[in-house]
């Protein structure tokens, strides 16, 4: 069984990226599962708080989920042509303490997906994540790119993916990433 963890990088309840991850969970190939997480409950990173209280329970739980998975998917929004600050904040927490980066991220297969109301999907945010993923020592999957542009027309009012062509693209993407993760790269 191949276990993938997905993190939706938006705080909105009806986030397109959360909807995309939930759809990915139903598009998994046989023998694979997707455990969907959100960034809700992750506080702003502050080294003083870390020194005084250690890691928040929400951060520890997410770190452990990633460390026990075969791969990681980041479903990233794109804010002002870049990485959303709240999502980057989560990754910053997950990289603490620094000597734990290898356990959580080291050589971990990672894929990027994203949905946006704009015409270019989340192309610039996905590109911006690459330097972060390199710094953390991950193994990004370059076998496919999933950009869900004009997302308002792809999801219903409840945040469910309703576009069949995008659903097919998502199935193919997930099959490729699961195979990459299962092989160890």
Task: Split the chain (185 residues) into runs of 10 and give each run's mean pLDDT.
Answer: 97 94 97 98 96 97 98 97 97 97 98 94 96 98 93 93 96 98 79
What was the pLDDT predicted at 6?
98
What was the pLDDT predicted at 184?
66
Q: In 3-state terms, the chain is what percent helix, strand and coil (to 5)?
A: 45, 20, 35
Asked if residue 122 lies in contact with residue 147, where contact means CB atoms within 8 angstroms, the answer is yes
User: Which 3 state secondary structure label does DSSP give 86?
Assistant: helix
**How far is the first Cα of the chain from the last one, in angstroms, to the nearest whole number?**
16
H-run or E-run covering 22: helix 16-26
Based on the number of CB atoms within 10 Å of its own CB, is 67 exposed (0-12), middle (13-18) or buried (19 or more)? Answer: middle
H-run or E-run covering 85: helix 85-94
User: Which residue segments constitute the domains of the chain, with CATH numbers given?
Assistant: 2-182 (3.40.50.360)
């Amino acid at each position: 069984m191949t276990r993938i963890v997905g993190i939706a990088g938006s705080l909105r309840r009806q986030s397109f990226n959360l909807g995309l991850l939930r759809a990915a969970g139903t598009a998994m190939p046989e023998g694979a599962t997707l455990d969907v997480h959100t960034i809700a409950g992750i506080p702003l990173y502050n080294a003083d708080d870390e020194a005084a209280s250690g890691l928040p329970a929400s951060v520890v739980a997410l770190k452990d989920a990633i460390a026990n998975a075969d791969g990681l998917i980041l479903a990233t929004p794109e804010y002002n042509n870049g990485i959303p600050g709240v999502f980057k904040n989560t990754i910053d927490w997950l990289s603490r303490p620094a000597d734990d980066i290898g356990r959580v991220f080291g050589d971990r297969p990672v894929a990027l997906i994203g949905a946006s109301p704009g015409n270019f999907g989340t192309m610039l945010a996905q590109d911006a994540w690459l330097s972060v993923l390199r710094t953390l020592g991950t193994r990004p999957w370059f076998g496919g790119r999933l950009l869900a542009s004009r997302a308002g027309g792809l999801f219903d009012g409840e945040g469910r993916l309703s576009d069949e062509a995008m659903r097919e693209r998502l199935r193919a993407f997930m099959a490729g990433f699961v195979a990459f993760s299962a092989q160890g790269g």
